[in-house]
Amino acid sequence: MVENSIAQNRAEELGYDLWEDFVIPPFYDSLDLSTAKKPRVVVGGRGCGKTSILRYLCHQTQFSNKRTRITENDLSNIGIYWKVDTQFAKMLSKRGVDDDSWMRAFQHLSVLMMSKEILKSLDSIANSSFEQFEEKDLSSFDFKILNSFNDKVPGNFKELKIYIRREINHFQTWAGSIRTIEQPIFLPLDFVKELLVEIKTQNKIFKETNYLVYVDEYENLLTDQQRLINTWMKHSEMPLIFNLAMKPNSFKEKNTIGNEPIAETHDYREYNLEEYYDKINFDVFAAEILFLRLLKNDNSFKIPILPEELRSTLQETLEKRRSVNYRRKILAAAKEFLPANSVDEMAKEVFNEPTLLNRQKDLLKRAINNNNVKNELEELLVSDFPQAGVIIPALLNRGTPAVELLEEVEKLRKGMDNKFTGTTDWIHNNVFGCLLLIYEPLGRYCPIYSGFDAFCLMSKTNLRHFLELCYKSVANEILTSHKKAYKISIKSQAEAATQASSTFLREVKNFGNDGNKLHTFVLRIGTYFSYAQKKPTQSEPEQNHFTIKGNWTASLINFISEAVKWSVLYENRITKQKGGENKMEVEDFEYILNPIYAPYFHISYRKKRSVQFSIEELNTIVFGNYADFESFMKSHSKNWKITPSDTTKNLFTELDN
């Protein structure tokens, strides 16, 4: 089924061979991961594609039997993917064993895992379309020299593969029973280097080959383990280069097992994938991935892509994919598959649909009563210019005289300069927030959360979030229509956005050691923005990010760093001018709640307006107890003139769940 092809939104679900599933990022020519002679550090939040890129670069994909043309040049750099099992890594510590022994134990495990993958890479090449190295060539290798490290090491290729598997199994058993099982002979990194020397010297095909090791999820290693990897990275040289991949704010340990720490530029270069997405068109890349997934299971889809171009690293192909014409074509098709209502169409629906019209009338009645307006409701119920009509209650609540509003409406009708569409731009500044206010208490789907553009904004740079939104949309459509989905309805998309938002919010509890604290924080900051969105005045609408004023405590620094690491918050650098006679630019940061949570809290996913929290206020949100936060929100609700009837669900109660 089509929706199943989209359901696989993690690289781990696709396996190690991604040749038919991976889309070359449009910024690929800005990276040199496959050819770099110096270590690289790849940084990016969850779901941004780190693991996919690494697995694409490694031997299972590069020498996939689905790849029809492989040249000798492809053997220049062979990638090895390695992700250490987190729980097992934590086992290699304490329990009465000194740190140095555990360090050597971790090194032994690392050497075995790398050796295993190097031998597997030879298998991959032998079973690929590369004609100059076949399975019969594997038996020609003689690795007898390796028994100088341990006389049990066999020299035959197949026997060596089995031996290493046995040693890995034995090591894992020993690590779990160190008191009862004899310690194995720990192998040094030189074992790997000697293995590579033998491969390079015994078969001329590999004479110029280098191995690039990609260590994924580096942040999950223990400190001593990170120092060992840092040491290997610092002293990387051909033919063995170490590279790292990690979440933001994770590269805190820069020490090695020697006296000199590693330093950027001198020892490695860093690539932040999310910054690259900011520089190119994420929406085009997301659409390409969606179309490839749809095409994979149903070639009847009329899709404006050529799969072979998405796998090409040729400069001319990448430039074509970045061109204006290509972008226009791809986005038009994406918006046809995931259509959206315009703001004007959503505003018209308010006056055409009875439930929405009743909600608009209720907001208007309250505004009239609360501001002692003498005009009748019918006079202010402007349905012929719906975008103007939906914002009138908010303008009344801000104290704008009804007579002035009616005058501006009349100017609008006559096509004259007016405050709704002129320089004052009432509609542009207020209509999105007012539509959210209308839909919020009704318990029905909200079209604001539908459409390809909306999905891209809610996903930000997270491909996993984008694919989940698409998957749930397709599933909803098929469930409703019971037929193939070539165009997804607004309703199916909007409901999918709420479903996905709830799913990803629940996930936060599993984000590392502080998962429960992060989950509570998201609920609290989301509640704050949700209540701010309910202000009758709609002053400062669409708040979903914040700045911090005051001197940070160490605990707050650590918490915010962790929130950014797990992409609960996105950190954005801003430049401000400092006052005084000699003005100077100073750097500050703003923090954006991950927009995927917007549908759950019924807030805007667009980055529009921020709030400045004092240290005291933010400490209440982050560290305060239930009573502290409840008091904080009640105070704001009173100032914002929000009544209990303005919300349909008690978010305070949900905080305890």
Nearest to 518 by CA among 535, 506, 529, 530: 506
- Residue 485 confidence class, pLDDT cut points 50, 70, 90: low
Sign of the Cα torsion 269, 271, 276, 279 reads negative
- Strands of the sheet containing 40-43, edge to edge, are 77-83, 210-216, 240-246, 40-43, 269-272
* pLDDT score of 450 more than 90: yes
- CA–CA distance, 462 with 200 (Å, rounded to integer): 40
Q: Note the pLDDT of residue 648.
A: 46
Mean pLDDT (the chain, rounded): 90
Q: How big, in percent rounded to 5, are the helix, strand and coil portions of the chain? A: 55, 10, 35
Beta strands 240-246 and 210-216, pairing class: parallel
**CB contact at 8 A, 580 and 572:** no
- CA–CA distance, 292 with 305 (Å, rounded to integer): 8
- CA–CA distance, 254 with 227 (Å, rounded to integer): 7
Mean pLDDT over 169-191 rounds to 91
* pLDDT score of 543 more than 50: yes
The residue ranking higher by pLDDT, 275 or 195, is: 195
- Residue 643 confidence class, pLDDT cut points 50, 70, 90: confident
- CA–CA distance, 317 with 24 (Å, rounded to integer): 10
Residue 411 CA: distances (Å) to CA of 295, 387, 402, 426? 51, 15, 14, 14
- With left for phi above 0 and alpha for psi between -120 and 50, is residue 96 left, alpha or beta? left
The residue ranking higher by pLDDT, 480 or 626, is: 626
**CB contact at 8 A, 257 and 445:** no
Burial group, residue 356, by CB count within 10 angstroms (0-12, 13-18, 19+): buried
Mean pLDDT over 605-628 rounds to 94
Nearest to 99 by CA among 225, 219, 215, 217: 225
Residues 6 or more apart in contact with residue 333 via CB below 8 angstroms: 287, 291, 303, 304
Mean pLDDT over 201-221 rounds to 95
**pTM of structure:** 0.91
* pLDDT score of 191 more than 70: yes
- Residue where the block lists tokens 């492989």: 70
The total of other beta-carbon atoms located within 10 Å of residue 369's CB is 9
In tens, the pLDDT along 69-82 reads 999 999 999 999 99
